[in-house]
Amino acid sequence: MLPVTTSTTALTHPPIASHWRAPHLSPRFWPVFLRNLLVWRKLAIPSLVGNIAEPLIWLVAFGYGMGLLVGEVQVAGPDGAARAVPYILFLASGSICMSAMNAATFEALYSAFSRMHVQKTWDGIMNAPVTLDDVLLAEMLWAAFKSLFTVTAILGVMLALGISHSPKLLVAWPVLLLVGITFSCIALIFNALAQGYDFFTYYFTLFLTPMMFLSGVFFPREQLPQLVLWLSNALPLTHAVLLVRPLFLDQWPTDAWLHLAVLLGYTVAAFWVALAFTRRRFSR
Amino acid sequence: MPPLFQARHLTKRYGDATVVNDLSFHIAPGECLGLIGPNGAGKTTTIRMCLGQTTPDSGEITALGLEMPAQAQAIKAQLGVVSQMDTLDPDFTCAENLLVFGRYFGLPKAAVQARIPALLDFAALAHKAKAKPGELSGGMKRRLSLARALVNDPQLLLLDEPTTGLDPQARHLMWERLQQLLQQGKSILLTTHFMDEAERLCHRLLVIDHGRAIAEGQPRELIARHLEPEVVEVYGGAGSEAQALAHSPLAALANRVEVSGETVFFYTQDAKPLLAALADHPTLRTLHRPANLEDLFLKLTGRQIREEG
């Protein structure tokens, strides 16, 4: 048996636990998620219009307008052989990933920042037995949920327009949820660093906009210069498109596990970084 | 009875600055402890440590038999907090604010819903159940924050400046409610800048400055210990007539004289001779009153404005 030692004088704490310690997550995130759901339910219909109108306008204008000029695009199939695909289908399969990314990002930046910084909602929640880790998890899942909601609505319209009737779209749906999760985790890093809303403009113009053009959403990546292609290979949106596009074409994606692993890697790393930065923000 | 809450030898440093320096205090069951001090004295940091939001560099906090910050969540489950800034949800009605907050404690929806009418009643907001915080006055918002802090029926309440910014009516209503809670046997840790509030509500006061405790005791007892019982304030008159009195033979009639701006404060055991002498200066205005907590506070912490003030 180990000797039991009691200390009467050692009142000094060990060094403050690092902000980089592992996430400590619990089911207490759920009431926080529910809180966001409850607020959103009150504003769901107007926000739905805003969420899906813009991506659809892009799709219709570009898809049908540019589609007439472009005609068909060559996409490599699982057997390596190129296959001609109508531009609207090519664009739809890429832009749905972009919509998932944008919807998650907007929620995890502007809305989460409002709750965290402007309304001090997080401070109030943490006076109850809910940890910052659980609040961040709830915000992350909430942004992903909103992204999934947007994506579902757009998919519904795409089905109605007859752009794709691939039964594999059922598989695309959970993949797009993962895309939302990945990008809400990344956005929460910038949320943790922001001093005001202006900061988010940098993230959009310096990170998201270039990524949209380098990830094969609007045109095939194959035409990119080699150096840029390498960069493109490292972008999460690229892997999202490589997973989702074949599913729109009723094909199984090649190297699916690799692409999933990349998205998961981004997700875990980004959540960890976002949590560390957020802990640091709240410890001051 | 063992204390409900105990902080021992708390120290917190930010860089080279020691914000809280070897601070110890406790709260007995049913007691209201007032934490008072000028801006920057370390009150907010102390509260943050009590809530586990920041870890002390040394010292320890125990509450309800549990240790902070190791068991912070278990402590917070039994704690009610009203922070300095309202953190009410602007998109929810008063009733929804209470319901949603109750869920953070893991309370079943039905259990919270059953408590809502009584909580709104207590906050004098029964008629505002369906109003959103944006439609409420400052006093109503603070009372809703108080009701929200009571949703888990806590034994101990932490109230950080609960009446700052309220008009006298709203403040008196808040005081009445806090008195009711004390009568129900709840314990309160209260920070405030209002000395009349501290005197009225607190059984015991802890005066802190520069992160250290500089006085502790019951309000009346503290005043008796540190101050002369009577004060004569003298102001007005032509030029610096009042200030000149501080250096005149008349000053010898007081035990202590302080000058602040245009006003001279005479602290004395017996004001009668001083008041008689002041009758020779009809142009000056005088105010004769008993010494109060504000005099004590100013004596202990000085009259100069702090950087943060």
Q: Residue A92: inside a domain, yes or no? A: yes
Q: Residue A188: inside a domain, yes or no? A: yes
CB contact under 8 A, B57 and A13: yes
Instruction: Inform me whether the pLDDT recorded for A6 exceeds 70.
Output: no
The total of structural domains in chain A comes to: 1
Task: In whole angstroms, give the CA distance from residue A19 to residue A275.
Answer: 8
pLDDT tens, B147-198? Answer: 999 999 999 999 999 999 899 999 999 999 999 999 999 999 999 999 999 9
Q: What is the pLDDT of residue B233?
A: 92
Is the CB of residue B58 less than 8 Å away from at least one CB of chain A?
yes
Per the listing, tokens 């109030």 go with A124
Establish how many alpha carbons lie within 13 A of residue B93's alpha carbon, considering only the half-sphere containing its beta carbon.
12
String of b and e for A52-65 (b: at least 16 CB within 10 Å)?
Answer: beebbeebeebbee
CB contact under 8 A, A119 and B53: no
Q: What is the pLDDT of residue A142?
A: 98
The domains of chain B, with CATH numbers, are: 5-218 (3.40.50.300), 228-290 (3.30.70)
Q: What is the pLDDT of residue B308?
A: 52
Q: Nearest CB to B76: which of A43, A119, A127? A: A127
Q: In chain A, which ranges are E strands?
A: 72-76, 82-86
- From chain A, pick out residues whose CB is under 8 angstroms from the CB of B89: 35, 39, 119, 121, 124
Q: Nearest CB to A129: which of B58, B77, B87? A: B77
| CA distance readout (Å), A92 to A95, A244, B48 | 5, 10, 51
Q: Is A171 exposed, middle or buried (0-12, 13-18, 19+ CB in 10 A)?
A: middle
Q: Residue A11: inside a domain, yes or no? A: no
Cis geometry, peptide bond prior to residue A210 (ω within 30 degrees of 0): no
Structural domain including A57 reads: 44-283
Q: Nearest CB to B87: which of A11, A123, A282? A: A123
pLDDT tens, A98-143? Answer: 999 999 999 999 999 999 999 999 999 999 999 999 999 999 999 9
Among B109, B201, B101, CA closest to B144: B101
CB contact under 8 A, B92 and A38: yes
Q: Residue A10: inside a domain, yes or no? A: no
Q: Residue A30: inside a domain, yes or no? A: no
Instruction: Inform me whether the pLDDT recorded for B77 exceeds 70.
Output: yes
Task: In whole angstroms, give the CA distance from residue B13 to residue B56.
Answer: 8
Strands B66-68 and B58-63: antiparallel
Q: What is the pLDDT of residue B91?
A: 93
Q: Residue A158: inside a domain, yes or no? A: yes
Q: What is the pLDDT of residue A14?
A: 45
Q: Is A218 exposed, middle or buried (0-12, 13-18, 19+ CB in 10 A)?
A: middle
CB contact under 8 A, B55 and A120: no
CB neighbours of residue B261 within 10 Å: 9
Per cent of chain B over pLDDT 70 is 98
Is the CB of residue B153 less than 8 Å away from at least one CB of chain A?
no
pLDDT tens, A7-45? Answer: 444 444 444 568 999 999 999 999 999 999 999 988 777
Q: Residue A37: inside a domain, yes or no? A: no
Q: What is the pLDDT of residue A48?
A: 75
pLDDT tens, B38-60? Answer: 888 999 999 999 999 888 999 99
Among B35, B30, B32, B34, CA closest to B1: B30
* DSSP-based helix, strand, coil % in chain B, nearest 5: 35, 30, 35
Split at pLDDT 50, 70, 90, the class of B144 is very high
CB contact under 8 A, A120 and B90: no
CB contact under 8 A, A12 and B51: no
Q: Residue A21: inside a domain, yes or no? A: no
Mean pLDDT of B113-125: 96
Higher-pLDDT residue of B210 and A44 is B210
Q: What is the pLDDT of residue A5?
A: 42
Q: Which of residues 9-48 of A touch B (CB under 8 A)?
A: 11-13, 16-17, 28, 31-32, 34-35, 38-39, 42-43
Is the CB of residue B210 less than 8 Å away from at least one CB of chain A?
no
Q: What is the pLDDT of residue B280?
A: 87
Q: How near does any CA of chain B get to the CA of A135, in Å?
A: 11
The residue in chain B having the minimum alpha-carbon distance to the alpha carbon of residue A35 is B100
Q: What is the pLDDT of residue B73?
A: 95
